[in-house]
Chains A and B, each alone.
Chain A
Amino acid sequence: MSIEQLVKSAQLGDKEALLTLIMNEKNRYYRLAYSYLGNGEDAMDALEDMIAVIYEKIGQLKKYDAFYTWSKSILVNICKSMLRKQSKHVLISEWEDVWHDLLKKQATTSFSYEQRMELNEDIKQLSEEQRETIVLKYWHDYDNSTIAKILNIPLGTVKSRLNTALKNLRKIMGKE
């Protein structure tokens, strides 16, 4: 069945159709929640909350092919709400761990140790919103337009955050 058919069925109360829609992109959802929450158990909780919200609101979805962007926007809001309840002030819990892996592996880059340490410092200077945008673009492979819809912000804001973030990270270019 096409996405349109599945969404229409789900709107009529077909639970299997809704489950199929979500399971078709299960890893995309899971990894997205994981990046925000930093662990699998919380990510699973977020997915459970997401399906409950989707069930209640799917009747409002007019553009069937927007289902995945729309549902991921719901998931991101749920993750942020969970972080707030846990009094966590970081948007992306997985951020430091992934960078730690990227920087420590000599083979991934020809940057010298000093350059990697400087990059590590530059990364820390990025704002949470800039980190979030980088993560969605490079680690989850969403284009700018999709990021704008998931985060419910203007496309211009997405571009601006990315540009600023990359400019900050490229400072080390001049120090070769």
Chain B
Amino acid sequence: MNKQNELENMLKQGKQIVDRHQVPEEELDRRLRARLQATVERYDVQHVGKLNAVQKYKPISHRWKYIAVLVLLFITILVTTQHQALAYITRAFFSHEQLVSSTIEQLYKEGKGQDLDVTVMLFDGTVFTLNWIVADENQTIINYTLNHELGLSQAYIDGDLRLQGISGWFTNARFKHGTTITEDDGKTLRGTAYFAKVSPFAKKLVLHFDDSRAKDDSSRTQWVTNYNNSGEITFKYNSSQALETVLKKSIRHKFTLADGDIVVQKITATPTETVVIGKYHLSDKLFSIADLSGLKLYVNGVELEQYGSGKSSGLNGQTFKVRYTVLPKNVQEIKLVLEYFMTVQPIQATWKLDAYNETPTMYEYDNHKIYVYGVTQANENTKVIIKTKAGVLLENVTLNTDDGVTSLIKTVDQMEFVDENGEVWLQRSLVFSSKSKAIELQVRGLKFEQPYYESITILNK
């Protein structure tokens, strides 16, 4: 066979290597169904725009400390239960017919928001209008518009008008995230901003924003007088129009981990999102790596998309909040499943290194197998090729060379394998900046997703 044909045959053999990847069929089916369902439910969204980066919250100074919270509780007890505001705090309202899943805009179109129609003028003549608000126990959403007849400044289109938060009576709702879309003519920008929840006792709220352009812009030729330079817009708020919570349930379940526990306390499902809150009891180290991507919510057997989770450590202990999309229609069953949780196991490993060999050396720590294939040198870098089960990571890795110790820069060349048991393995190269001869790899910990597969039923009709 001549070399030309041999080259083509060699190229074609790449197909055999690529074909070894087999998609995990069940997982793909499950994920596609969930995503399709979420897409169907959101399909009414009229605007799709760029997502502004989560903006830094500039603390709104407030006078209320923890004592004020106690005062609020005291007042709450005294106030009659006729107060509309209490209705959505205390009532766990669940109605089969009312478990609707809608987009925020759809909610407004259904008459479930409040018109605000408050306008201020910015320094260059841009009109900033708060159009409407949708609020519930989980969050507050404001729809707004920026408009300039001569065309908006590119700075505003790029997000230079930063919304910071909403303040008011017992309200300190910081900005979480937002989306914007600019019309083709460049004159109007429509935005939807998401904030934490506002107090049901508030009757007047203040939106705080930062207009950095107002401080030193010289590009606009049209200037106006009497523009808003306070960075605040005050508007009336009617808490009786806040949306009712569709499901609020105390859970109080403890998932016991190998080192600590996770206590899930409550689920609150509103027309805008579903939130699960709780507490961790973990060491500082485990808390620092804790994330709840493995805490899954299944509604009628379909996984509900998780938007994200947050955690904090303070007077209340280690608390967490996990956010999921809205519940769909016709909920029959809700299950919460802890499928896995990140944990770290300290090890003191020193592995001798040789040149790359197809037959690796295997090291085992508590059922975690690590295969070390060896070292390759490329330009200024040394690569150490290893393989572990997917989800297992090495912590605190350093390379001992004949010239000293060097730290891991990055991980590259990842390749996935599925073994005959269906287990997924990940081979990759650890890259160190070193031209010297590599002697040993030192590893001080293993980080991995500890599977739990513990499931609790929150609701079963």
Q: A102 near B416 (CB under 8 angstroms)?
A: no
Which of A18, A38, A99 interacts with B414 by CB under 8 Å? A38
Task: Tell me which residues across on chain B come within 8 A of A108, comparing CB atoms.
Answer: 10, 13
Smallest CB-CB separation from B415: which chain A residue? A97
Whether A40 contacts B18 in the complex (CB less than 8 A), given A51-B35, A55-B40, comes out as no
Task: Tell me which residues across on chain A come within 8 A of B27, comparing CB atoms.
Answer: 44
Task: State whether the Cβ of B258 lies closer than 8 Å to any Cβ in chain A.
Answer: no
Task: State whether the Cβ of A47 lies closer than 8 Å to any Cβ in chain B.
Answer: yes
Q: How far is the CB of A78 from chain B (nearest CB, A)?
A: 12
Chain A positions 142 through 173: 1 when the CB is less than 8 Å from some CB of chain B, otherwise 0 = 00000000000000000000000010011011
Task: Tell me which residues across on chain B come within 8 A of A27, comparing CB atoms.
Answer: 19, 21-23
The docked-state distance in angstroms from the alpha carbon of A139 to that of B18 is 7
Q: A47 near B32 (CB under 8 angstroms)?
A: yes
Q: How far is the CB of B34 from chain A (nearest CB, A)?
A: 8
Task: State whether the Cβ of A73 lies closer than 8 Å to any Cβ in chain B.
Answer: no
Task: Tell me which residues across on chain A come within 8 A of B424, comparing CB atoms.
Answer: 40
Task: Tell me which residues across on chain A come within 8 A of B29, comparing CB atoms.
Answer: 19, 23
Q: B18 near A98 (CB under 8 angstroms)?
A: yes
Task: State whether the Cβ of B43 lies closer than 8 Å to any Cβ in chain A.
Answer: yes
Which of A22, A41, A138 interacts with B32 by CB under 8 Å? A22
Q: How far is the CB of A49 from chain B (nearest CB, A)?
A: 8
The docked-state distance in angstroms from the alpha carbon of A40 to that of B24 is 9
Smallest CB-CB separation from A134: which chain B residue? B11
Q: Which of B334-377 contact A (CB under 8 A)?
A: 358
- How many chain B residues touch A (CB < 8 A): the figure is 40
Q: How far is the CB of B4 from chain A (nearest CB, A)?
A: 6
Q: B15 near A139 (CB under 8 angstroms)?
A: yes
Task: State whether the Cβ of B422 lies closer than 8 Å to any Cβ in chain A.
Answer: no
Q: How far is the CB of B131 from chain A (nearest CB, A)?
A: 25
Q: B4 near A138 (CB under 8 angstroms)?
A: no
Task: Tell me which residues across on chain B come within 8 A of A102, comparing CB atoms.
Answer: 10, 13-14, 17
Which of B11, B31, B43, B414 interacts with A55 by CB under 8 Å? B43
Task: State whether the Cβ of B25 lies closer than 8 Å to any Cβ in chain A.
Answer: yes
Which of A13, A52, A141, A169 interacts with B7 by CB under 8 Å? A169
Task: State whether the Cβ of B330 lies closer than 8 Å to any Cβ in chain A.
Answer: no
Task: State whether the Cβ of B62 lies closer than 8 Å to any Cβ in chain A.
Answer: no
Whether A111 contacts B6 in the complex (CB less than 8 A), given A19-B36, A94-B18, A101-B17, comes out as yes
Q: How far is the CB of A100 from chain B (nearest CB, A)?
A: 8
Smallest CB-CB separation from B418: which chain A residue? A40
Q: Which residues of A pack against B, CB within 8 Å?
A: 13, 15, 18-19, 22-23, 26-27, 29-31, 34-35, 38-41, 43-44, 47-49, 51-52, 55-56, 93-94, 96-102, 104, 108-111, 134-135, 138-141, 166, 169-170, 172-173, 176
* 15 A-B pairs in the complex with CB atoms less than 8 angstroms apart: A13-B40, A15-B36, A18-B36, A27-B22, A31-B21, A35-B18, A39-B426, A40-B24, A41-B390, A44-B31, A56-B43, A98-B14, A102-B17, A139-B11, A140-B15
Starting from the known contacts A94-B18, A170-B4, 9 additional A-B residue pairs (CB-CB under 8 Å) come to A27-B21, A38-B413, A52-B39, A55-B36, A108-B13, A109-B6, A139-B11, A169-B7, A173-B7
8 closest A-B pairs by beta carbon, nearest first, are: A30-B23, A138-B11, A48-B35, A40-B416, A139-B14, A52-B39, A139-B18, A39-B414
